[in-house]
Amino acid sequence: MRFWTWWLLALLLQALPPAGASEDSSTAGPPGPGPRHWSYADKAQWASNFPDCGGSMQSPINIETSTTLFAPQLKPFQLSGYNLPPEETLSLQNNGHTIVLGLPANVSISGGGLPEAYLAAQLHLHWGSQGGPGSEHTVDGHHFAGEIHVVHYNSRFGGIKEAAREPGGLAVLAAFLQAGSEENEAYQHILESLDEVHEEGEEASIAGFDIAKLLPDNLHFYFRYNGSLTTPPCYQTVNWTIFNQTVLLSQGQISVLEESLLGDEEELIQGNFRLPQSLHDRRVLASFLMPPTAAAAPPAAEPPDGGKQESASLLTGELLAIVFGGLFVVTAVAFLLYARKHRQRPDAPAAKPSRIYLPATPEEPTGEGDASQAS
Ligand SMILES: *[C@@H]1O[C@H](CO)[C@@H](O)[C@H](O)[C@H]1NC(C)=O
Ligand SMILES: *[C@@H]1O[C@H](CO)[C@@H](O)[C@H](O)[C@H]1NC(C)=O
Ligand SMILES: *[C@@H]1O[C@H](CO)[C@@H](O)[C@H](O)[C@H]1NC(C)=O
Ligand SMILES: [Zn+2]
């Protein structure tokens, strides 16, 4: 009796999808129906086949910047081995859900407030369609055109499949993709090979290049939270890093991404992102206090430069308001003391408060309302 129970259990466990079956952890399983099969069209059903997808530490999330906590222990990252020589060929695969670039394990990260070194496994992208939203994470409710995920696993584990199930097992570096005015050379390494992997399951080899160039220049400013894979099996083992600076691609490049790959049933892979999940009792940490002016990302809906300048000048405005507000209080107190002293002396000429000029307190014409609208 007991033997049979164990035997059944063993069979069941074997039937479960291996961790590596997800686009967020490694390569794809075979297409078609079965326990490994899932699609973005049936997101609401994920939790019935993959229980973790219904958990309370799911990804992506909306990052509400006003409630993030500044955490000074979130130091910059050290990237090693990211600059791959052209002799090192990398595999590029259309797994039916996204485009996956395999990375050698000598590519790694350390620092970034992570207690151990994490080794790279793969990177992949999420995107939308026709200039619509494509990012998984949102910032103050704002979606971006796309998102890159560089997936790493804890060096403590033998491989990504093992690590993907363990707390602290994975670390994903994420950055938002936005339309800019110039072509992004680094992304072109991937985009120019997409027609070789047009069909689901196709694989191509591309020459090594500097993978770091796919990420923002500024790796000091980022958000951190505990979350999950954003695709089934949704294991809740990911230390997420979301960079505050965005990556710019030309509009043409974003269109190539949106229109080159076929997935299930010969349909274009588009809108391959999951919507933000409930935060529950989690906290989102930030490695920075002030938005770096050069890194503050303009919303895609606004002209890029206008947005950038607005958020920068808003900050300067706030600072000025504090400084001048403080000066005003000091001046007012000094004046009151002066006036009182002079009123007590009948021979002294009375001070005329109405003539005393008040230092102008600069008021920002564009208030908080515009700021939140902009994000
Ligand atoms: C993130 O890393 C910390 C430190 O190793 C670990 O305690 C935590 O469980 C990790 N988070 C997740 C979701 O695995
Ligand atoms: C993630 O979870 C670990 C373990 O529960 C905790 O120590 C750590 O502070 C959490 N990290 C964040 C960013 O909340
Ligand atoms: C960067 O951080 C600033 C300040 O919190 C925020 O206003 C802006 O929306 C953030 N942008 C991204 C892409 O995280
Ligand atoms: Zn992803």
Q: Are strands 138-139 and 203-207 parallel, antiparallel or unpaired?
A: unpaired
Other CB atoms within 10 Å distance of the CB of residue 41: 10
Residue with tokens 């791959």: 84
Please give the chain's pLDDT, 375 residues, in tens. Answer: 454 545 444 444 444 434 443 444 444 444 444 556 899 999 999 999 999 999 999 999 999 999 999 999 999 999 999 999 999 999 999 999 999 999 998 999 999 999 999 999 999 999 999 989 999 999 999 999 999 999 999 999 999 999 999 999 999 999 999 999 999 999 999 999 999 999 999 999 999 999 999 999 999 999 999 999 999 999 999 999 999 999 999 999 999 999 999 998 899 999 999 999 999 999 999 999 975 554 444 444 434 343 333 333 344 445 444 444 455 555 555 555 555 655 544 444 444 444 444 444 443 333 322 332 222
pLDDT at 265: 87
Cβ atoms of 101 and 91 closer than 8 Å: yes
- Give the distance (Å) from ligand 4 centre to CA of residue 207: 23
Query: Rounded CA gap, 301 and 298, in Å?
Result: 8
Query: Rounded CA gap, 214 and 185, in Å?
Result: 9
154: left (phi over 0), alpha (psi -120 to 50) or beta: beta
Q: Considering only CA atoms, which of 211, 207, 196 is closest in space to residue 90?
A: 207
DSSP 165: T
- Give the distance (Å) from ligand 2 centre to CA of residue 64: 18
Residue with tokens 């990012």: 135
Cβ atoms of 149 and 123 closer than 8 Å: yes
Locate the ligand 3 atom nearest the alpha carbon of residue 223 and give its number. 14
Locate the ligand 2 atom nearest the alpha carbon of residue 167 and give its number. 4
Q: Considering only CA atoms, which of 68, 95, 192, 207 is closest in space to residue 151?
A: 95
Query: Rounded CA gap, 56 and 109, in Å?
Result: 27
Query: Rounded CA gap, 370 and 189, in Å?
Result: 38
Query: Rounded CA gap, 328 and 359, in Å?
Result: 6
Ligand with the closest atom to the CA of 368 = 3
Active-site residue, selected from the candidate residues 37, 97, 126, 137: 97
Q: Considering only CA atoms, which of 118, 110, 105 is closest in space to residue 155?
A: 118
Query: Rounded CA gap, 275 and 278, in Å?
Result: 10
Other CB atoms within 10 Å distance of the CB of residue 203: 14
Bond preceding residue 233 cis, omega within 30 of 0: yes
Q: Is 97 a catalytic residue?
A: yes
Closest-CA residue, ligand 1 atom 5, reads 168
H or E stretch including 334? helix 304-343
Cβ atoms of 216 and 187 closer than 8 Å: no
Q: Considering only CA atoms, which of 87, 62, 157, 146 is closest in space to residue 117?
A: 157
Locate 331 and state its tokens: 């001046």
